[in-house]
Amino acid sequence: MRENDKDMLTGEPGSADTSPPEETKGAATTAYTEQNTKETPQQEDIQNDSETDKKKRPELSELESELERERYKTRYRSVFRSTVFTLVTVAAIAILVATLWMPVLQIYGTSMTPTLNDGDIVLSYKTSNLKRGDVVAFYYNNRILVKRFIAGPGDWVDMDDQGNVYVNGDLLDEPYVSDKSLGETNIELPYQVPDSRIFVLGDHRTVSIDSRNSSVGCVSNDQIVGELIFRVWPLKGFGLVK
């Protein structure tokens, strides 16, 4: 057997060189590098997207501020609705009270001067418990007149030429009258007040048309609006009506 063949046969098993040729290793390395190079832009895109998400993600303080703004809007709407409801309720109650129990009246004319003047605004109180000297409002021909209570049902009323008033023979003390006068009187004196009616006179006796004249006459209970109790305007006259 040839010497070269002997050497090949006597070689130890597994000792054969299996490493790829140098040229092959170079090619594999080049392919791997190119592949890594191709994947790099994708990795950069992923990294950029991650950084963008971080930038878009709100901070905790911003979230708390936005939550506080929403809570404020909710409280504001609740308070606004509550305020509107309260105002509407108060207005409705005021209108009901003004209509049923305390009508607000404005004075026109001069028949009640100096106690009340033209343009005064007063509150009246609905009551049937009137007494002599009270200032009352009553309906007359689709209007409201204001006069002073002088005598009640069954009382006898008399007046002299100087304008002094007598009720059941007693002279009335009338500090609210500045110009006593018999005025526009066309009823027969002394005069007895009918049942369920009251006798009224204006404080300005020379110009007032009242129960002394049959065109107005005595006032029935059904005509009475109420007693004038308080003047609210003008401010300089603010106070009780006396």
Whether residue 111 lies in the annotated active site: yes
- Of 111, 124, 208, 211, catalytic: 111
Backbone φ and ψ of 81, nearest 5°: -60, -40
Please report where in the chains the tokens 């059941």 appear, as a residue.
Answer: 168
Residue 104, beta-bridge partner list: 123
**DSSP per-residue letters across 117-158:** -TT-EEEEE--S---TT-EEEEEETTEEEEEEEEE-TT-EEE
List 124, 147, 208, 211, catalytic entry: 147
Strands 121-125, 104-106: pairing is antiparallel
- Contact of 111 with 147, CB cutoff 8 Å: yes
Residue 157 · residue 150 · CB < 8 Å? yes
What are the C-alpha distances in Å from 241 to residues 116, 228, 231, 237? Answer: 8, 7, 6, 9
DSSP state letters, 40-84: HHHHHHHHHHHHHHHHHSPPHHHHHHHHHHHHHHHHHHHHHHHHH
Omega before 114 within 30 of 0, i.e. cis = yes
3-class DSSP assignment, residue 232? strand
d(CA 133, CA 135): 7
Determine whether 196 is an active site residue: no
Give the catalytic positions in this structure.
111, 147
